[in-house]
Amino acid sequence: MTEHAVVIAGGGPTGLMLAGELALAGVDVAIVERRASQDLPGSRAGGLQARTIEVLDQRGIADRFLAEGQKAQVAGFASTKLDISDFPTRHPYGLGLWQNHIERILAGWVSELPVTIYRGREVTGFAQDDTGVDVALSDGQSLRTQYLVGCDGGRSMVRKAAGIEFPGWDPSMSALRAEVEMTEEPETGIRHTPSGTHAIGKVAYEIVNGAVVYKKGGTVGVMLTEAHVGNTNEPTLRDLSEGLIAVYGTDYGIHSPTFISRFTDMTRQAATYRKGRVLLAGDAAHVNSPVGGQGLNTGVQDAVNLGWKLAQVVKRTSPESLLDTYHAERHPVAARVLRNTMAQVALMRPDDRIEALRDNVAELLSMDEPRKRFAAMMSGLDIRYDLGDGHPLLGRRMPDLDLITADGPLRVFTLLHDARPVLLNLGEPGAFDITPWADRVQLIDARYEGTWELPALGAVTAPTAVLIRPDGYVAWVGDLTPLGLVDALTIWFGPPTAA
């Protein structure tokens, strides 16, 4: 039986990101992926939020995505666009980039790391005991692992087999999504009818002055809201043709589909993200309407929260109880995403009364303070983990400051490329002694001469020192004394090493 420290079921964006995080920490990790290659039929989901781009920047790989995507103001709530160009971040924008490209780039990064991938296979069952998990694969092979992580999508076999409940709300709408060829040039853009919202767009496009510009010909993306909810059959080209004729009066001569799928606004969340040695991340842990493009982004950020914690437990640097903070921190984040997507779906219904409500919400969001608050939420920049009371930075993302060090200028995110925690001392050099954690935590003496500003909150008091976790969130904020630092180091990065 082949052994790995961690086995990940599913090699989509969440599984790939988690594998990369674990590999950076020196953990033996393997992915089991049913596809024979990373190729994904069609473009699927598209877009990265500002916070996700920051997360990729923390690992030194954001430029790979920025080189292929289109920067644009993509944050929005229901039909109201929200500009974040004035936000205090190095990436005050979203990135238009289809999921097939996101996966390809992530897989390229993972291929540079020591990650084993079992392709063309699925996890079909598992049995966990006190020391690990026996994992059965579809080809008859078995793996032994300390921990199994289900990143295997909304229909997650891992979640079901673990007996983790998936409560939530049944769908109130459904839609067809497809990529096809058309013999006639279609009417691109968004159309609203009594049955709902529909859209036709080209897969190949450019962002020019903030607007989407489609090229003539080429593959066409179609989204059609269905008149009735509840059809569970696999959608066909005929279904798509009939839907187009009902809305546009023609099917534009559709042919040669790359893929046809159905999505709904079903909204569910796993009751727990961990059951013994089995954990969940991404769509296996939460599903919601794709409005706002938050699913993929939430999953990638799940992976970055879990990766370093799981690595420390596997390496016995930290006690197993550290894994409980994964659920405690990420479950509320996804719960909030579920609530805001349900609100957006409700606001987008084709009803005169809802339209009146939508207009009022749009007017509210045109005001600066509400715009900043909702834009920070929709871009992922306002996430705060509950680490107690104190400085506004505590539990929030660390800004990517331009630091001045004895060795020259340095960005904060550069310090996180290897997914190692950082104690950043901005006061008197040599003021802190963390020798018992020197093998785990980087100690950096530096200066910063600018203003400290957080999205939606504005300017905050400059701290003397901050303890930054590998996921880029602040675990401790200090002044001239190290009060509480030893406790924070112990909680997050394990007990001190004996001299």
C-alpha span between 169 and 172 (Å, rounded): 9
DSSP state for residue 384 in the 8-state scheme = B
Give residue-wise pLDDT tens across range 27-74: 999 999 999 888 776 656 678 999 999 999 999 999 999 999 999 999
Q: What is the pLDDT of residue 37?
A: 86
Q: Looking at residues 270-280, what average pLDDT do you find?
A: 98
**Statement: residue 289 has pLDDT above 80:** yes
Percent of residues, the chain, with pLDDT higher than 90: 83
Reported residue count of the chain is 499
Beta strands in 160-229, from DSSP E residues, in sequence order: 168-169, 174-182, 189-193, 196-202, 205-208, 211-214, 220-225
pLDDT of residue 142: 97
What was the pLDDT predicted at 79?
Answer: 85
Out of 148-157, 265-274, 315-324, 474-483, pick the least confident: 474-483
Mean pLDDT of the chain: 93
Residue 211 pLDDT exceeds 80 = no
3-state helix, strand, coil in the chain (%, to 5): 30, 30, 40
CB 328 within 8 A of CB 270: no
Residue 479 has pLDDT above 90, yes or no: no
Which of 289, 297, 425, 207 minimizes the C-alpha distance to 13? 297
State phi, psi for 224 to the nearest 5 degrees.
-125, 120
pLDDT in tens, 295-310: 999 999 999 999 999 9
pLDDT of residue 216: 72
- Contact (CB, 8 A) for 223 and 207: no
Q: What is the pLDDT of residue 440?
A: 96
Confirm if 75 and 82 have CB atoms less than 8 A apart.
yes
Residue 17 corresponds to which amino acid? M
Lowest mean pLDDT: which of 43-47, 272-276, 364-368, 438-442? Answer: 43-47
User: What is the reported pLDDT for 293?
Assistant: 87
Mean pLDDT for 329-338 is 98
Helix axes 368-378, 352-365, angle to 10 degrees: 100
